[in-house]
Amino acid sequence: MHDERALRPSAPVVPAWTFWCFAAAYVVLVVVGRSTAVADRGPALVWPAAGVGALWLLVRPGAGWATAAMAGIGLSSAVLHLLTGASPGMAAAGTTAALAQPVVAVAALRRWCPSLLGAGGDRTIADPAVLARVVVVVAGSTLAGALAAAAALTVAGETPTAVFVAVWWGRNLAGMLLVATAGHLLLHAVLTGRRVLPPRRRLPELGLVVLAAVAAFGMIDLDGGQPLAFLLIGTSVWCALRFPTVVAAAQVLLTGVLAFGLVALGRGPLDGPPSDLDALTMQAFLVTLLTISLAIGSSRDQRDAVLAELETARREEGRRAQFLETVNDVMAEGMVVLDADARVVRTNSAAREILDLTPAGTRDGVQAADYVVTAPDGRVLDPSEHPSVRAISEGRVGPEDIVLQLEDGTRRTLSVTADRLATEDGAAAGSVVVYRDVTDERRQADQLAEFAATAAHDLRNPLTALRGWIEMAAETDDPVALAGLDRARVAALRMQELITDLLHQASAEGGLLSAADLEAVPLDLAVDDVVQYLTDVAVVTHADELPVVSVHPEMLRQLLTNLLGNAVKYVEPGVRPEVVVSARRVGDRVAVEVRDNGIGIPEDERSLVFERLHRAHATDARYDGTGLGLAICKTVVVRHGGHIECRPAPGGGTVFAFDLPAAVPDVPTVAPQVGGADLEEA
C-alpha cells in the first residue's frame, strides 16, 4: 500500500534564516501581549505570541530546529514576563504554557493534518475539513496550556480560580487562532508563489471593505455599547466571500488589533478596565468572527479549486475529443456509432463515403434497417441480423463479411466488426461498427483460388497420364529402364503432392473467417475421421470427448491431416508412431496439443518450420515433403484468430500447440466430412 504523503508533491521548504524572523516576532508579540494585562489582575487580554510559537515549531521539521525553537520560546517568555513586571508565579505559568501549547499543537497537527504545510504536506487551511481539525487542535492545545499554567501557579504557592483558567484559555485560543492561521496562510502563499493581494480591478472593493470596518469601529466608539460590535461580522463576511482566505484572515487579525487597541486606550464599548467577563466576551467574539471568516473563505477557495479543476478537465476532454475526431477522420476504415434503437448518431469521413453509396445516404436519423445488406452467398439479411444490431444484444461481432447492394446494381463487400456500447450500469447504449471495404481483396482472392484450382486441375491430368504410362512401361525386364522409370514415378508423385499443397495453401489464404463460414465440429470426431486414413502402424489416442470447436470444416481437415501425417512420417526407422491429441477449453477458445514420439525439430528450426517451403529435415533423404504442410497449418489457425507453435515433447518428439474458437453451446454440431482421396494425396 502506498503512503499518501509519498505520492504528494514535495512540500515547500521554509528557509533556515526565518528562524530569526520568528524569534523577533515572538519577542515583539510577547511584549504586546503583556501590555494588554491589567496591573495585578492576572493574565493579559490576548496573547498573540501563542500563534507565533506554534508556527515557529511547526514550519520546519527536524530535531535541531525544534530544540532551538523551544529554547527561544522558553527563554523569551521567562525573561520578558519578569522584565514587564509579572510575578515569579505568573512568569513560571506563562513560560510553562508557552512551552506546552506548541508541543501539543504541532504533535496533533502532524498526526491529524499530514497534508498541512509543516506537517509533511504542501497545503494550508483553505480547506473546510482541514480548518475544522485545526480549530479542534488549537482549542485542545491551548486548553492544555491553560491547565499547565494553573499547575505552575499552584506549585508557586498561588491558587488559580476557574475564571483564571477560562480567561487564560480564551486569550491563548484567540491569539493562536488569529496569528497562526493568518501567518500560515501568508507563509503558504509566499512559499508557493500564490497571489496574496487581489487583482488590481478588485482593489476598490477591498478599499470599501476597509472603510466599512473603520466606520463600524467609529460607531462602536461613539455608541459605547457592545451590540454595535456585531457590525464587524458583516465586513468580515463580505471580505471572506469576495477575497482569498489569506486576505479574510488578515482582515480579522487587524480587527482584533484595533479592538484590543481601543480597549487599551480606554475607548470602545467598555467603560473602564475590562473585567474577566469582558475579556472572555471579547475573546469569544474574535474567535467566532475568525472561525466564520475562515469557514466561508475556505469553502469559497474549495469551490474555486473545484471549478478550476472542472474547467481544466473540460478543456482536456475537449482536446481529447478533438484528437479522437481527427484520428477517426483520418482512418481508412469507416466508423459508425448507433444508439440503442440502431439509429446512426455519428460517422467518420470514411464511413460517410461508403454509406453515401447506399440508397439511405447519411441523412439524420437513418437506421441500420434502412440498408440493404446481404451475406456473401447472396442471402438478404433481416435487419435483426445486421452486425450493428446484433452487437447491441450479443456484444462483439465479427469480423465478418457483408455485402451492400448499391443503386446501380453493383455490390460492395465490407469486412465488419461491431461491439456493444454500454452505460455505467451495464445497460446497452448502442453499438460501434467499423467497416473496411474489401471488395477488391475478395475479388482477387476469388480469382486466385479459381486460378489455383484451374492450374491444379490442368496439371493433374498430364501427371495422372504420365503415372499411368510409367506404370505400364515398368513391366519391362530391363533393370536400367526400371530404375529410370522408378525415378520418374517418384518425381511425378512429388510434383502431384506439391500441386496439391499449393492448392490447399491458396484456398486457406485470406483474412479472419466470418461467422457464416464457421460450423460447430466435435474435435474428437474430426480426429477419428483423419486417423482412419493413416497407416495402421500408427497409434493415435485422445480423450473420449474433446471440446466442440467453431471452425471451417474443410480447413480443420487440412490442419489435422498435416499435423497427424507429419507425426506418423517423421519417426526413426523401426519406431511405431504414437500420437496423443489433447484439448481443453480456455475462455472462448479451445487450446489443442498434438504430441508425437518422432525425431523432433532442432531448436533453431522451430521458428522457421511454419514458413513456406521450409523443411527442418531437408538434408535427410529418408524423409520427403514439400515444406508447405506446416505453413498451411499456420494459415488455418491464424484465419481462425489463433496462434500455433512447436516445442519439444518430454522424452523426445514434438508438441504442436494451437488454439481454435470454442463453439457456442446452443449451436448444432455437424459431423466432419473427410475424403480419403485427398488424404492420400496430402
623 versus 478: the higher-pLDDT residue is 478
Confidence tier at 494 by pLDDT (50, 70, 90): low
* 531 pLDDT higher than 60: yes
Q: The cell 483564571 sits on which residue? A: 164
pLDDT value, residue 96: 93
Q: Give pLDDT, residue 59.
A: 87
SS3 content of the chain, % helix, strand, coil (to 5): 55, 15, 30
CB neighbourhood size of 471 (10 A): 11
* pLDDT value at 103 more than 90: yes
| Per-residue pLDDT, 459 | 62
User: Among 270, 271, 256, which residue's Cα sits nearest to residue 174?
Assistant: 256
Q: What does the DSSP 8-state code read for residue 542? A: E
pLDDT > 70: percent of the chain: 70
The pLDDT of residue 1: 38
Spatial contact of 524 and 408, defined as CB atoms under 8 Å apart: no
* Dist. CA 216–CA 358, nearest whole Å: 79
Predicted local confidence at residue 288, as pLDDT: 79
What's the CA gap between 216 and 210, in Å, rounded?
10
Q: Once rounded to an integer, what is the mean pLDDT over residues 254-258?
A: 74
Does residue 111 register a pLDDT over 70? yes
String of DSSP letters for 317-336: HHHHHHHHHHHHHH-SSEEE
In the numeric block, the cell 511454419 is attached to 610
pLDDT-derived band at 2, boundaries 50, 70, 90:
very low
What is the 3 state secondary structure string of 480-506?
HHHHHHHHHHHHHHHHHHHHHHHHHHH
Q: Are 59 and 120 in contact (CB under 8 A)?
A: no
Q: Is the dihedral of CA 353, 432, 382, 435 positive or negative?
A: positive
Which residue would you say has higher pLDDT here, 476 or 435? Answer: 435
Across 227-232, average pLDDT: 64
Mapped onto helix, strand or coil, the DSSP state of residue 584 is strand
Mean pLDDT in residue range 34-58:
77
Q: What per-residue confidence (pLDDT) applies to 6? A: 39
Residue 264 near residue 210, CB atoms below 8 Å? no
**Cell numbers given for 400:** 465478418
Q: Give me the mean pLDDT over the 343-347 stretch.
A: 75
**Can you give the pLDDT at residue 591?**
92
Task: From 227, 228, 248, select the one nearest 238 (Cα to Cα).
Answer: 248
- What gap in Å lies between CA 92 and CA 500, rounded to an integer? 109
pLDDT, residue 618, reads: 44
Confidence of residue 307 (pLDDT cuts 50, 70, 90): confident
Residue 193 has pLDDT above 50, yes or no: yes
Question: Using CA atoms, how far apart are residues 565 and 546, in angstroms rounded to an integer?
Answer: 20
Q: Which set of grid coordinates corresponds to residue 58?
A: 511547526
Instruction: Report the residue count for the chain.
Output: 682
Given pLDDT bands bounded at 50, 70 and 90, which one contains residue 175?
A: confident
Coil, strand, or helix at residue 513?
Answer: coil
Least confident of 291-295, 331-335, 497-501, 600-604: 497-501
pLDDT at 98: 92
pLDDT of residue 335: 76
Is residue 32's pLDDT more than 80?
Answer: yes
Quote the CA–CA distance of 608 and 601 in Å, as a whole number.
Answer: 10
Predicted pLDDT at 282: 73
Identity of the highest mean pLDDT range in 134-148, 173-187, 455-469:
134-148
pLDDT band, residue 409 (cuts 50/70/90): low
Task: Tell me: pLDDT of 358 over 50.
Answer: no
Of 377, 374, 379, the residue nearest 403 (C-alpha): 374
Lowest average pLDDT, out of 83-87, 391-395, 676-680, goes to 676-680
- Whether 155 has a pLDDT exceeding 70, the answer reads yes
Q: For residues 448 and 554, what is the distance between their CA atoms, to the nearest angstrom?
A: 18
- C-alpha distances out from residue 292 to 79, 177, 231, 286, Å: 36, 12, 14, 10
How far apart (Å, rounded) are the C-alpha atoms in residues 558 and 637? 11
Residue 654 scores a pLDDT above 80: yes
Gap between the Cα atoms of 124 and 621, Å rounded: 84
Over pLDDT 90: what percentage of the chain? Answer: 10
Dist. CA 185–CA 187, nearest whole Å: 6
Confidence bin at 251 (pLDDT 50/70/90) = confident
Task: Using the predicted structure, report yes or no on whether residue 435 has a pLDDT greater than 60.
Answer: yes
Span 116-136, pLDDT tens digits? 888 888 888 877 778 888 889
The cell numbers describing 253, all together, are 487579525
As a whole number, mean pLDDT of residues 241-257 equals 77
Cis ω on the peptide bond leading into residue 399 (within 30° of 0)?
yes
Amino acid letter, 493: L
| Residue, of 515 and 297, whose pLDDT is higher | 297
Which 3 state secondary structure label does DSSP give 529? Answer: helix
pLDDT at 550 over 80: yes
Residue found under cell 512559499: 191
Mean pLDDT of 492-515: 59
Mean pLDDT of the chain: 75
Average pLDDT over residues 662-677: 55
Alpha carbon distance 87, 484 (integer Å): 133
> Phi, psi at residue 2, to the nearest 5°?
-80, 145
The answer to whether 135 and 83 are in contact (CB under 8 A) is no
Which tens digits make up the pLDDT trace of 439-481?
777 777 666 666 666 666 666 666 666 666 666 666 666 666 6
CA–CA gap between residue 102 and residue 99 (Å, rounded) = 6
Segment 503-518 shows an average pLDDT of 61
Task: Give me the residue label for grid cell 461508403.
Answer: 354
Which pLDDT band holds residue 317 (cuts at 50, 70, 90)? confident
Q: Grade residue 610 by pLDDT with cuts at 50, 70 and 90.
A: confident
495 has a pLDDT exceeding 90: no
And the C-alpha cell for 638?
491464424
| Residues 553, 513: Cα–Cα separation, whole Å | 12
pLDDT confidence of 674, banded at 50, 70, 90?
very low
Average pLDDT for residues 652-677, to the nearest whole number? 68
CA distance 596 to 542: 12
What pLDDT is stored for residue 323 in this prediction? 74
